Amino acid sequence: MQPRHVSLFVIALILCAGCGSSAEVGGLTASPAFFTATLPPTLTPSPTQTATLPAITPKATEQSNIVPVEGTTTSQVNVRMGPSTVSESLGTIGIFAKVQIVGREASGNWYQVLYAESETGKGWLRAEYVQVDPNAEIRLVETGSASGSAVSGFVTRGVNVRSEPDVQSELLGVLNSNDVVFITGRDAGGKWVQIEFPGAADGKGWIAAEFAQAVDMENVPTIGEVAGETAAPTVDIPMPGVTVQTATQDGDSMQAPLAEVVFSVMGSRTLQFNGDVSAPDGDNEDWVRFTSQSGAVSIRLTCLENAALRVELWNHGEPVGEFDCGGMSLASVTPGSDYLLRLIQNGAGYARYVLNLEVIP
């Protein structure tokens, strides 16, 4: 090759070196001096690729939302299957025992409590025998009737249950004050109401209307014709000397009182105690012991039944004072000395009572 041709060839190579990112020379491919790393594309999920979990709604079980309210019994008390003294007794709970309240019936006279010995895990106590924080919120429990259409109510005092709206008809049993009843009808004269009563052959009984209370009494249907004068329940009272209810024997005595309390300046200053006594059958007396660091104690006894109930104040084994139901008495006591209260039923009958003691500074 001529020198002139060689020079032109070299110049052509130099000029072609800057052409493109690669050039073919003699059939070979010249690689670029650097590489650019290309990452895989980022995938943007489509709506069908996003997993959305369904909202979980917790099961609404009765127990999960109930917060029990703690109460303390003020007397030995029966646990009933239903809110009535004629309902089956499931057992008893002793005095000053802690109970877990999970509901109340409409009148507020009965509390539903947790009770392990029951098949349902629950039972009913009379509210008057349980002390509860007055600010506690206790849920309302619907107490259904057997028929499903009866009006719920309660009785205001002890009353006989008859097979028919007549004082001469068969006596089926006795209800006590604050017992819950389900009213299914009334007589045309308005003096009797028919109630559900499990002790009857047909599950129904009749009580005097004047001793029954219910909010929806106007919705109670009328049953039968207008009753005659002999059907008036105003004379349907227990025979004199007959005890229709008896107090349970609790085994207390002067040496082993039913309740004891020590009042102090910095500690307890009051006591409320509920109990019952009866005569000639049943437990006719209760004993309560107290000691006070103060020289004066007020004693108030409220009787919830008509009966001859008397309270005696004892000290050093001898009675030092006595008073009857009603009103308030101020007793002078020796500070630090033990005193006993004897609540005794003198005549025939049954009495429920509320005893309140309070230290006077």
Domains annotated on the chain, with CATH:
69-132 (2.30.30.40), 151-235 (2.30.30.40), 259-360 (2.60.120.380)
Q: Which residues of 265-278 are buried (b: 16+ CB within 10 A; e: fewer)?
A: eeeebebebbbbbb
Q: pLDDT of 33-68, one tens digit each?
A: 433 444 444 444 444 333 333 333 333 334 457 789
In this structure, the strands spanning 110-114 and 122-126 are antiparallel
Give me the pLDDT at residue 38, please. 42
Q: Tell me the residue type at 312.
A: E
Q: How far apart are CA 64 and CA 76, in angstroms?
A: 30
Give me the pLDDT at residue 79, please. 92
pTM above 0.75, yes or no: no
For residue 98, what are its two tokens? Answer: 């802690």
Q: Confirm if 99 and 109 have CB atoms less than 8 A apart.
A: no
Give me the pLDDT at residue 70, please. 96
- For the chain, 361 residues long, give each residue's pLDDT as a single digit of tens: 555 554 545 445 544 444 443 333 333 334 444 334 444 444 444 443 333 333 333 333 344 577 899 999 887 788 999 998 888 889 889 888 999 999 999 888 899 999 999 999 999 998 888 999 988 999 998 876 666 667 888 888 778 899 999 988 998 888 887 889 999 999 988 899 999 998 788 899 999 998 888 877 888 888 875 444 444 454 444 444 443 577 888 888 899 888 888 887 676 778 878 788 888 788 889 999 999 988 888 888 888 765 678 888 999 988 888 877 776 778 889 999 999 999 988 777 788 888 888 888 7
User: What is the DSSP annotation of 279-310?
Assistant: ESSS--EEEEEEEESSSEEEEEEEESSSS-EE
Give me the pLDDT at residue 149, please. 67
Give me the pLDDT at residue 305, please. 63
Q: How far apart are CA 253 and CA 289, in angstroms?
A: 10
User: Is residue 12 within a helix (H) or strand (E), and if so which, with residue range?
Assistant: helix 3-16
Q: pLDDT of 251-276, one tens digit each?
A: 888 998 888 888 876 767 788 787 88
Give me the pLDDT at residue 307, please. 60
For residue 299, what are its two tokens? Answer: 């004693």
**Residue corresponding to tokens 């995938």:** 43
**Residue corresponding to tokens 């008073």:** 323
